[in-house]
Structure 1
């Protein structure tokens, strides 16, 4: 590597707290060269974003920094604020994680992209807007001149993220810092953004500091990898070495925590990293990972040095050159449940429909006649078919995985089958009883026997209520447990989900993300349910915590004979936990069947595209070429007369796909594909799974 553009040397970041000094970063050293991508990975709290904010000068006055941050020979630590502002945007660009909070909702997109040009290069606003339109086109946005007049809320999540990237590169920076830029995106949009970033890096010679916890994304985008744990660099080196031949136990644990995308399902539960993240005010002596390390010995009580060889690779572990693989989970092989053959499904939805009426963006006002005489204004509206004629069933003891991009209707379907949302049409049978049109007063039994685990435990737990009281409220409302026995009952539930009984008296902010999700699971179990909707329950969690929660859900299903509707956009997770998989697009099910059948040819073209876009964490794992979809929007109401996927399908046949409802084809019993393509043509599709996983 040539001399780095950006160099961090022994960077330490500390905060003073009431309990003492908290070291968010501890002697971090790394470098990023021109045209190179360095990925920084680690769990939440490891200090990844602190590196980005320290480099950009965005830390508060309470942060104490020592060490060095040099950009192209200029020392940034201690640099005056005016010089910092001149570097930000002009020479160092940054793309934040969430475009919804990074873009100003009251300014048009073109104005926001043009603003850095006015500030840094002194362009007039008309000239800056022309350059901004060119930048919007460079990041692959359609009709950039028209799109420049739009507001952020009128764009999809992927388009918003492209606007952020355009804003970051419009002044031709030399270094781009990206803080979890694809975390909130679907796998197909994520793949498009990664392609875009790779193109920009090559065409502009950009250096990139790419911060993420997704090891598949790291393998797709990075040249080198820096693994961060509790503020320390524990391993660094070329991507092939760190991901393919990891040396530090922590890196091995992260890789072992990943569910594998395989048509064979899983025969063994994932082996997560045990224990909890360390207290950075009172860290363990010696190796900071030792309390969680299965290879720890007495010698690990001494501080560990990071030894880097001539290739730039190294690990902070005294025996990194002789470590075995990460130990497998000490549980019996998991056998898929042969759920319910010949039995009446626990839950059955028949031709379920949920429609919404919303005002059309830019639709204006339509004048009608009220009472046939009076002119009357009405906002032009459109009907949105969030759930469009769906029929599914979930059998006892079965996990039905539901996958699809954001906006496909997955969460709406989950809430509709629980009657949290009233359906517009169709039947909803729970143990043979139609509850679709039942009045609210008659839903008490459904409320007790059907529960939900939400995606974000932070927003679903009351921060002012102890977690034990939150669970006890469900016990009081839906069970016959007497008041004097409720605390013991709740403590038993905490114990069942792997939390100490003493957590009854803790508040949500005193728990980690994984612990809060366990509380959400315990609350769902409090009523003794038979059926649980899991709505993206692990998407906000680190990979090790995700593995722990997936294992817990699996064990509870087997122990309590639960049925799950497991909603996710992560196909690796769904392949791991589901018995059957339903693939949903724009309110309709386009493919459904046993997991092994849906993950093997023949595929619906949408399923094939989703599978081909999944990033893999194993260097060298071969997949068929990724399928690129046309555009990123669902069909308008006028385009729903045929197959809802025809506007984006790379294999669309023409008028028949646009005008005729696709037939259901059944290549195997129970495996149904809604597509006009002949079955023998679908059968010829190559596998979209990696050869290493088959």
Structure 2
């Protein structure tokens, strides 16, 4: 008997003209100990399924049956279903910062489920909460239990959420994009934890994600959702290696692959627009975006068994060998040879911040009287970094959360002042320049943020937001302003008709394009991209990455591209800098950094990277242990976590900078011969044409 059985689930929001069908006829089962992944673009209905299971939707909007362990959840009264929620079925949301109460200590938040569902005393619940925190891999649960959410890293907060979900020993765990905001090492640890707990407790898992690499790592079966309908459902291996539905093939074709770098090759996003759920097309809902559509696709489609899975496409067998067409503008933008003169240079840049907490030190006044003195401690976030970016060059910056990536990008833009070192832009030292003297620099250096929704004013139309950027930068042409804005929108791949739309009327990818257009309004030479595609669906991500590369070639823009997705970095970057606790431990051309010899930290990052291709999944992962918050004053910054540490020399002496090839630098005490002997962690081989880059 399945643990969870969903039969003919349909969810409709609103009434009349605003009536919107979020789900239609969903059938899905999960067995004990099984992990089923739900994938699809934003708006496909993935989270709606989770909320329907948890009874978080008005029941008048829901039609169909949801059974849990043979019990009909749909027929349960609200009180009984509320008792089941959190005790036997638990849900982990995507953003732990908004899911955790900022005013309650972590221990109390984890314990409250035990008090509410199991009736434990506060002391018993606190003891169980510490056990749950320890179970999810938190080394010092007592300290974490006394902390508030803002005092923890993103990975720690996500572990706390999982501990809260697991503390009552649920039989079904629902995870809604739990690793989207995590870096690769923490993501890998969280996935290992989920798999271990599922196996140990024989718990079922419904894992919602848009990351197909994560699906390949954790899932047993995959359910592909589009516009509220199941288009393909089957074993992970079959769906990812030989997809039958064109939509599944489109998703897999949109993903950049780690190690398959060719700057002249464009990703192949799914064309067209996501359908309007209030006015769904007749027949196949994917017809308007499918490159293989025929007249018969206008007829009603039925889910049918094909081989070892279910598919909702009448042509699935016929088109399985058809090649997905290249984008219509593939190769339309000629490659431009980067000008190797440095546009921006960081010279021995450092940055320290004062910690919010103040400690008390006792000092003696007049040589005898002890007097308390408040002392503000400081933490070094950036420590003596030197980095340059040439005109037209893309430098990728990778590293775990807290390594200083965003701080370095903001120092480069003079959004924050460095504590030491120099920032040189276009030959001019701007380190100590006053704000009034930076007007010209502000026009030439821009930033694209991670979250396009929060970076756009919801009360300004898209045209107004971009037009204001023209005005502020001094490039406003007055009467021709609308034409000027529309031309820039067109360059960024945004339809001109969106000029009068507000941000909430655009998709995530369209909002990111608006952010890019706004950054281009000042005719910049440098753009810092701070995780610009991490929150986007894979198809939208492919479109935006193509746009970044096109603009780089067309306008000879330089980028500092910050990302925790190594496949994205390997696709776009000419050079990669690997950052760990404020120091660059490895830097060099992309093809060199992604193959031995590499720094042990780079090797660990690559081993943790998830790939959607089964044959390319790393055979073994390097698990980094040790304190993830410990900063050292001397020796190698990676000491204590390095699996290849060779003794006290790593703790006492600054590692030498080794240069295995021109421009490729590794800071490590290990000799190059040992570093070169490491097994390759990246599948495939870089094209010969890229070896000189």
TM-score range, shorter chain: over 0.9
Q: Tell me the distance in 2 between the aligned counterparts of 1:590 and 1:146.
A: 30
SS in 2 for 1:4: coil
Larger mean CA deviation between 170-179 and 587-596 belongs to: 170-179
Determine which of 542, 549, 555 is the counterpart of 2:550.
555
Q: Which residue of 2 aligns with 1:259?
A: 256
Quote the offset at 1:108 in angstroms.
2.6
Quote the offset at 1:128 in angstroms.
2.2
Q: Deviations over 1:174-208 (max 9, x none)?
A: 11111111111111000001111111111111111
Q: Which residue of 2 aligns with 1:300?
A: 297
Q: Tell me the distance in 1 between the aligned counterparts of 2:667 and 2:490.
A: 44
Structure 1 residues 432 and 36 mapped into 2: Cα distance closer, same or farther (>3 Å)?
same
1:320 and 2:316 correspond: yes
Structure 1 residues 533 and 369 mapped into 2: Cα distance closer, same or farther (>3 Å)?
farther
Structure 1 residues 120 and 668 mapped into 2: Cα distance closer, same or farther (>3 Å)?
same
Q: Which residue of 1 aligns with 2:681?
A: 688
- Please give the TM-score of this superposition, normalised by the length of structure 1: 0.95
Structure 1 residues 300 and 560 mapped into 2: Cα distance closer, same or farther (>3 Å)?
same
1:100 and 2:97 correspond: yes
Quote the offset at 1:339 in angstroms.
2.7
Q: Which residue of 1 aligns with 2:106?
A: 109
Query: Where in structure 2 are the equivalents of 1:191-340 lying within 5 Å?
Result: 191-262=188-259, 264-308=261-305, 311=308, 313-323=309-319, 324-330=322-328, 331-332=330-331, 338-340=337-339
Q: Which residue of 1 aligns with 2:580?
A: 585
Structure 1 residues 170 and 482 mapped into 2: Cα distance closer, same or farther (>3 Å)?
closer
Q: Tell me the distance in 1 between the aligned counterparts of 2:402 and 2:544.
A: 25
Aligned residues: CA RMSD: 2.2
Q: Tell me the distance in 1 between the aligned counterparts of 2:342 and 2:590.
A: 18
Structure 1: gaps spanning 5 or more residues: none
Q: Which residue of 2 aligns with 1:463?
A: 458
Quote the offset at 1:376 in angstroms.
8.0
Q: Which residue of 1 aligns with 2:691?
A: none
Structure 1 residues 558 and 693 mapped into 2: Cα distance closer, same or farther (>3 Å)?
closer
Q: Tell me the distance in 2 between the aligned counterparts of 1:66 and 1:89.
A: 23
Query: Where in structure 2 are the equivalents of 1:191-590 lying within 5 Å?
Result: 191-262=188-259, 264-308=261-305, 311=308, 313-323=309-319, 324-330=322-328, 331-332=330-331, 338-341=337-340, 344-360=341-357, 364-366=359-361, 379-590=374-585
Q: Tell me the distance in 2 between the aligned counterparts of 1:633 and 1:86.
A: 37
Counterpart contact for 1:266–1:334, Cα < 8 Å: no
Quote the offset at 1:113 in angstroms.
2.0
Counterpart contact for 1:454–1:537, Cα < 8 Å: yes
Q: Which residue of 2 aligns with 1:40?
A: 38
Query: Where in structure 2 are the equivalents of 1:631-670 lying within 5 Å?
Result: 631=626, 633-636=628-631, 639-670=632-663
Structure 1 residues 372 and 302 mapped into 2: Cα distance closer, same or farther (>3 Å)?
farther
Q: Tell me the distance in 2 between the aligned counterparts of 1:367 and 1:201.
A: 51
Q: Tell me the distance in 1 between the aligned counterparts of 2:627 and 2:15.
A: 46
Q: Tell me the distance in 1 between the aligned counterparts of 2:169 and 2:558.
A: 53
Counterpart contact for 2:334–2:553, Cα < 8 Å: no
Quote the offset at 1:651 in angstroms.
1.1
SS in 2 for 1:19: helix
Q: Deviations over 1:128-161 (max 9, x none)?
A: 2222222222222213344333333332222222
Larger mean CA deviation between 401-410 and 617-626 belongs to: 617-626
SS in 1 for 2:270: coil
Q: Which residue of 2 aligns with 1:6?
A: 4
Q: Which residue of 2 aligns with 1:627?
A: 622
SS in 2 for 1:77: helix
Q: Tell me the distance in 1 between the aligned counterparts of 2:273 and 2:379.
A: 44
Q: Tell me the distance in 1 between the aligned counterparts of 2:299 and 2:148.
A: 56
Structure 1 residues 481 and 86 mapped into 2: Cα distance closer, same or farther (>3 Å)?
closer
Q: Tell me the distance in 2 between the aligned counterparts of 1:253 and 1:377.
A: 66
- Please give the TM-score of this superposition, normalised by the length of structure 2: 0.95
Counterpart contact for 2:260–2:571, Cα < 8 Å: no
SS in 1 for 2:207: strand
Counterpart contact for 1:359–1:379, Cα < 8 Å: no
SS in 2 for 1:158: helix
Counterpart contact for 1:337–1:398, Cα < 8 Å: no
Counterpart contact for 1:263–1:595, Cα < 8 Å: no
Q: Tell me the distance in 1 between the aligned counterparts of 2:123 and 2:207.
A: 33
Q: Tell me the distance in 2 between the aligned counterparts of 1:514 and 1:671.
A: 34
Q: Tell me the distance in 1 between the aligned counterparts of 2:283 and 2:14.
A: 22
Q: Tell me the distance in 2 between the aligned counterparts of 1:493 and 1:335.
A: 19
Aligned length: 684
